Chain A
Amino acid sequence: MNQEMAVILVRSVEFLFLVYFLLLNGGLFVLHLIAAWSVRHYMARHPAHGAGIDRATYSGFFPPIGVIVPAFNEEATITTTIHSMMQLHYPSFEVIVVNDGSKDRTLEVAIEEFGLQPFREVHRARLATKTVRGVYRSVRYPNLRFIDKENGGKADALNAGINACVSPLFCGVDADSILQNDSLTKCVLPFLEDRRTICAGGTIRIANGCEVDQGLLLRSGLPRHPLALLQVVEYLRAFLFGRLGWSPMNGLLIVSGAFGLFERETVVQAGGYSPSTIGEDMELVVRLHRRMIEESRPYRITFVPDPICWTEAPESLKVLGSQRTRWQRGLAESLWRHRSLLFRPGSGAVGWFSFPYMLVFECIEPVVEVGGLVFFALCVAFGLVGWSEAVLFLGLVQALGMLQTVNAVLLEEVSYRTFPATRQILTMIAASVLESIGYRQLNTWWRLKGLVQWATGRKHKWGKMTRSAAWSSGASPK
């Protein structure tokens, strides 16, 4: 009798795992379909070679943009970063560099290179930030401003930049982001095409292996380092399906911190970036959704599939692990903070689809995955599930994972062809096959760690990310 009960129990748990597995893959399948459809739709409106026409047809309609670049201990790269920003092709933009209390010579280097002059400038501090020590303007570049403030973290620096910005749109850019000179022109299109747009995010790609000079992309290329290569295909997949799939139904919950364009006034009213969170980029977007829904204001948060920003991927397991752990923590934190969005009446696709999906299939997914593995391993050990069946199931999971990534490579081929050589295509296909063996499992482990850290509320030990403590690249692809 007891044994019978146990079998029923095991079978029903097994059934639950299966249902989860089917729902997850069913959801992914639908997202893939939507993404494929929207790539087609987008390409019809904005052919890859059509940037010239967009410039011509919308000339005069381009709103001024403030490019806000927070910088912390960047003395080695600050001149390159600023030079590359000054080279953007856009009719009207200003660059606001915010020095977040760097402990090195960031400020002095910039003063020297750009002929910065202290400039007593009073702007309304609509967002509370740490004390601003001074504002500098360049006598050489009229559209460059430099804000020197006390250290307060990336969100705080971005807020100080927003305070100083006078343009209707602002764009938060990581200091180590590599842009193309048409990045702004491409990313601003959703604002021109739909007046309800309050935010637009762009596709982030991995810069490792690309030829980059003085912050500008010369030629795209694939990295030699296997860890970076796996991230290339991972980003391909995550951006196409994790973002593009959600965009048409206005359910996009993440806009990468490495490059995102926002309506300034809306962000100011929403309170700016939150300094008390880890994933300030995601938290802001979820908060914008929440506010717009609460005010029942019609709005759009759009994703631009054009690759417009390139970021350096970590090539060491340790750094990558701490980055992923942090992202997962940020995700859990943002979802928890705005949990009232879940199934909220009138919240549309956000509350009914993307929020629950993110919660069930992104946030707690590592728990289910590890739980499932342990469960099946026990089942096999106790002879409740046959070896062949277990192997088959694992094989199916791997194969589905590969299919997703290969599909991402396929969509890339019909759209942007960022990596056009035949060798590169073959390398990417090989990487997609390898990615689901080993790399994904490693990722699951890191994400589980992040989740556990969030749940236990343990003070997160900042990993030694490329530069410093509260400073880390925010280009989360998930």
Chain B
Amino acid sequence: MPTRRILLIDDDPIFSTVLQHVLSREGYQVEQLADGRAATERVHSETPPPDLVVSDIMLPFLDGFQLVAIMRSNTAWERIPIVMLSAKGQESDIQHALDNGADDYLVKPFQHGELLARIRRFLR
């Protein structure tokens, strides 16, 4: 099986590093982006889409909701699973994200076993 590629979009460098570490330890290939605009450019670029997207909701320039809409309107990205990350206490955002086309969500701080289990479920 080829290495699975995950696109990670989060503007907090430490959180990204931790998450990236956890994922690469599991053998995933991780690509990191820090804001909504870079992510949009990535979607519109020629580079083939990743196997899964993990994105924060609060992002500079474009928030996670807008990002999901952009990905869902692009044929290549239409079916890529998207896992949203949300800060604790903003559970109303989650419903909104799921309604917008995200597939799953996780609350920060995340339980790393739980995250990995969900990712495995999507990449099976």
Direct contact between the two chains A and B in their complex (CB within 8 A):
yes
Q: Say whether B92 contacts A87, CB under 8 Å.
A: no
CB of B11, distance to nearest CB on chain A (Å): 9
Contact with B along A100-117 (1 / 0, CB 8 A): 000000000000000000
Main secondary structure of the interface of A (DSSP, over half): loop
Q: B58 near A: Cβ within 8 Å?
A: yes
Enumerate chain B residues within 8 angstroms of A142, measured Cβ to Cβ.
Answer: 92
Q: Say whether B92 contacts A214, CB under 8 Å.
A: no
Enumerate chain A residues within 8 angstroms of B58, measured Cβ to Cβ.
Answer: 87, 89
Q: Say whether B61 contacts A214, CB under 8 Å.
A: yes
Instruction: State the interface size on chain A (CB cutoff 8 A).
Output: 10
Enumerate chain B residues within 8 angstroms of A86, measured Cβ to Cβ.
Answer: 63
* Residues of A53-107 whose CB lies within 8 A of B: 86-87, 89, 91
Q: How far is the CA of A440 from the CA of B14 in the complex (A)?
A: 45
Enumerate chain B residues within 8 angstroms of A181, measured Cβ to Cβ.
Answer: 60
Q: B48 near A: Cβ within 8 Å?
A: no
Q: How far is the CA of A87 from the CA of B92 in the complex (A)?
A: 17
Q: Say whether B89 contacts A216, CB under 8 Å.
A: no
CB of B102, distance to nearest CB on chain A (Å): 16
Q: Say whether A216 contacts B60, CB under 8 Å.
A: yes
Q: Say whether A213 contacts B61, CB under 8 Å.
A: yes
Enumerate chain B residues within 8 angstroms of A87, measured Cβ to Cβ.
Answer: 58, 60, 63
Contact with A along B37-80 (1 / 0, CB 8 A): 10000000000000000000010110100000000000000000
Instruction: State the interface size on chain B (CB cutoff 8 A).
Output: 8
Contact with A along B83-106 (1 / 0, CB 8 A): 000000100100000000000000
Q: How far is the CA of A181 from the CA of B34 in the complex (A)?
A: 14
Enumerate chain B residues within 8 angstroms of A91, measured Cβ to Cβ.
Answer: 89
Q: How far is the CA of A87 from the CA of B37 in the complex (A)?
A: 14
CB of B46, distance to nearest CB on chain A (Å): 24
Q: How far is the CA of A181 from the CA of B60 in the complex (A)?
A: 9
Main secondary structure of the interface of B (DSSP, over half): loop
CB of B113, distance to nearest CB on chain A (Å): 23
Enumerate chain B residues within 8 angstroms of A216, measured Cβ to Cβ.
Answer: 60-61
Enumerate chain A residues within 8 angstroms of B92, measured Cβ to Cβ.
Answer: 142
CB of A82, distance to nearest CB on chain B (Å): 13
CB of A113, distance to nearest CB on chain B (Å): 12
Q: How far is the CA of A376 from the CA of B89 in the complex (A)?
A: 68
Enumerate chain A residues within 8 angstroms of B14, measured Cβ to Cβ.
Answer: 52
Enumerate chain A residues within 8 angstroms of B60, measured Cβ to Cβ.
Answer: 87, 181, 213-214, 216
CB of B8, distance to nearest CB on chain A (Å): 19
Q: How far is the CA of A52 from the CA of B63 in the complex (A)?
A: 22
Q: How far is the CA of A367 from the CA of B112 in the complex (A)?
A: 68
Q: How far is the CA of A91 from the CA of B14 in the complex (A)?
A: 20
Contact with B along A200-221 (1 / 0, CB 8 A): 0000000000000110100000
Enumerate chain A residues within 8 angstroms of B89, measured Cβ to Cβ.
Answer: 91
Enumerate chain A residues within 8 angstroms of B37, measured Cβ to Cβ.
Answer: 213
Q: How far is the CA of A181 from the CA of B56 in the complex (A)?
A: 15
Q: How far is the CA of A142 from the CA of B60 in the complex (A)?
A: 19
Nearest-neighbor residue (CB-CB) of B92 within chain A: A142
Q: Which of B14, B60, B89 has the most CB of A within 10 A?
A: B60
Enumerate chain B residues within 8 angstroms of A89, measured Cβ to Cβ.
Answer: 58
Q: How far is the CA of A89 from the CA of B63 in the complex (A)?
A: 13
CB of A413, distance to nearest CB on chain B (Å): 24
Q: How far is the CA of A89 from the CA of B37 in the complex (A)?
A: 18
Q: How far is the CA of A214 from the CA of B63 in the complex (A)?
A: 12
Nearest-neighbor residue (CB-CB) of B93 within chain A: A142
Contact with B along A39-52 (1 / 0, CB 8 A): 00000000000001
Nearest-neighbor residue (CB-CB) of B61 within chain A: A214
Nearest-neighbor residue (CB-CB) of B11 within chain A: A181
CB of B79, distance to nearest CB on chain A (Å): 25
Enumerate chain A residues within 8 angstroms of B63, measured Cβ to Cβ.
Answer: 86-87
CB of B48, distance to nearest CB on chain A (Å): 28
Enumerate chain B residues within 8 angstroms of A213, measured Cβ to Cβ.
Answer: 37, 60-61
Q: How far is the CA of A86 from the CA of B37 in the complex (A)?
A: 16
CB of B10, distance to nearest CB on chain A (Å): 13
CB of A340, distance to nearest CB on chain B (Å): 47
* Residues of A101-135 whose CB lies within 8 A of B: none
* Residues of B6-20 whose CB lies within 8 A of A: 14
Nearest-neighbor residue (CB-CB) of A52 within chain B: B14
Q: How far is the CA of A52 from the CA of B92 in the complex (A)?
A: 24
* Residues of A140-182 whose CB lies within 8 A of B: 142, 181
CB of B57, distance to nearest CB on chain A (Å): 11
Q: How far is the CA of A87 from the CA of B60 in the complex (A)?
A: 7
Q: How far is the CA of A142 from the CA of B92 in the complex (A)?
A: 10
Q: How far is the CA of A393 from the CA of B92 in the complex (A)?
A: 67
CB of A354, distance to nearest CB on chain B (Å): 39
Q: How far is the CA of A347 from the CA of B14 in the complex (A)?
A: 48
Give 7 closest A-B pairs by Cβ, nearest first: A214-B61, A216-B60, A87-B60, A213-B61, A142-B92, A87-B58, A89-B58
16 CB < 8 A contacts A-B: A52-B14, A86-B63, A87-B58, A87-B60, A87-B63, A89-B58, A91-B89, A142-B92, A181-B60, A213-B37, A213-B60, A213-B61, A214-B60, A214-B61, A216-B60, A216-B61
Interface residues of A (CB under 8 A from B): 52, 86-87, 89, 91, 142, 181, 213-214, 216
In addition to A91-B89, A213-B37, A213-B60, 13 A-B residue pairs with Cβ atoms within 8 Å of each other are A52-B14, A86-B63, A87-B58, A87-B60, A87-B63, A89-B58, A142-B92, A181-B60, A213-B61, A214-B60, A214-B61, A216-B60, A216-B61
